[in-house]
Structure 1
């Protein structure tokens, strides 16, 4: 650890924006270690509204847990804001770590946090980031469902499909809660403990409870796990802290270089005319407004409009968007997407709330814009 201190002091002397801190025990031994560099701190200031945090990777000979703070860059890429080694997964350790993170980031709190299902972590987040929206990773919970409820799914034909549809596609809280209870009653699975546990904790992870919260292009902690896998390729459980930190420098350079390359492409290259999906002016406008990474996501939304029908409920005010009958990907339940329009105010909203979650217009609003011959996105 003295070597680590020397490395960090050299980094700080070379770049004053480098920041680190240790947590020591009563014998002056290192319990936990936190660090971040100036580029990561600058990026967090720009796009640190949403972070993913996960501690699944034992990475060194001291059996310290690796804990990266991960976010989404302006190009939609995974970005590494900070890293830590922590001694355990208690509320006190997490609280210390989150406080160090907050100080390093100039006191800027994240708006939203996604983590695995850990009670100590949740308690620390409530203490240090009391105003942040915290949700648990749905992927891990559904993985446990398949492990614990697998025989029940096999014994009840249609239960698995119903479960997936209700959890993933419910448009309102009322729809989810009604359909869930009907599912439990239909298949007579009141006795399945894991279903009961999911119902009790539903507000911590079910997507519909977070549909209007800012979680851009992120549903799970896979971005954190992807960061873990990058480190696993270069270092293993027998490596010391100094070896790990050298690998951290290499990986961080890769992350920064990728962003700089994306910036360069956006400044100097344009999408070829043949690469435009449609003839609509709003697609050209989106190309001018968004960088290429985000524009590609926008194009996916545009292409999705071809599988939809739009019905006027009240002229220039309310529209219903549904899946087209000839769409080969059939829905388990037919869903109606209500789009509200204010032409004078140039305001659009959809029941799916994708604009609030991702910051991009959903395909339902785009479909109504096309229907109304809107030439320009407000």
Structure 2
């Protein structure tokens, strides 16, 4: 073997070395997770400097509880969006599930664990119904989930007569208000759900098929992927996670209040998913980005509260962040070849 064969390759110089920098920047710019994670870091530093109480332990614990509610909803919502659909029912269903579990356990005396299981089964049935309507009758997801949202809000008021259900089992407060060390239990639940969702989407055949369905529905069908089953799986996942969030909400409030639980949560869930890099056209997005998107929205919301900004502007801020995220998604699709134009 000749000496020239053994000598190391020369380090890139000149134009070759200069080209590596733009290439790295291009890859980072084309990765939505990198941008939202950087935004989280910047937002935390800015608000921590501007408001001394922002980074205090009690405030961080409050953010952990809020993040669990919005983050779990966003993860469920992302499953549906990845298939090319949308679920507008998550907020209403979260509110109804809190009412149902309180109604079963308090009004009808069903043991709390059984009431929880029964409520989650009902939520799963609602998700299955969404999938059936979309798959068998080709009902637009926007329409069928909006119908469910309206029904859920009406049922929550009808069941309770507008009066909150009190004397809830301690199990709900234990799940929502207690800690493991300094970390709220809801935050731990959120991490567990995120890890499970990451494994399901990125390490299983079912997860890969969900991406394929959203990426190209007809190609997925021709490849033998059970399209209807995968879309139904996504809607069931979203509905069940909405039920989990409803139980966390009533545990935190101490009552099952139909006028409060889940109100407006669907906007935050969709915003967190899209901010985290999930394409509204389906087929693109990762759990890391979705979790970061939920964290970013929570950092901004709590930051504005810490600065004593009027609460009416919080929804405005969410809308602005969502608009910027959608614009960034389209710009990535146009200039970096990611997403679908």
Report which structure shows greater RCO (CA 8 Å, sep ≥6). Answer: 2
User: TM-score scaled to structure 2, two decimals?
Assistant: 0.25
If each structure's strand is expressed as a fraction of its own residues, which one has the higher value? 1
If each structure's helix is expressed as a fraction of its own residues, which one has the higher value? 2
User: TM-score scaled to structure 1, two decimals?
Assistant: 0.23
Q: Which has the larger radius of gyration?
A: 1
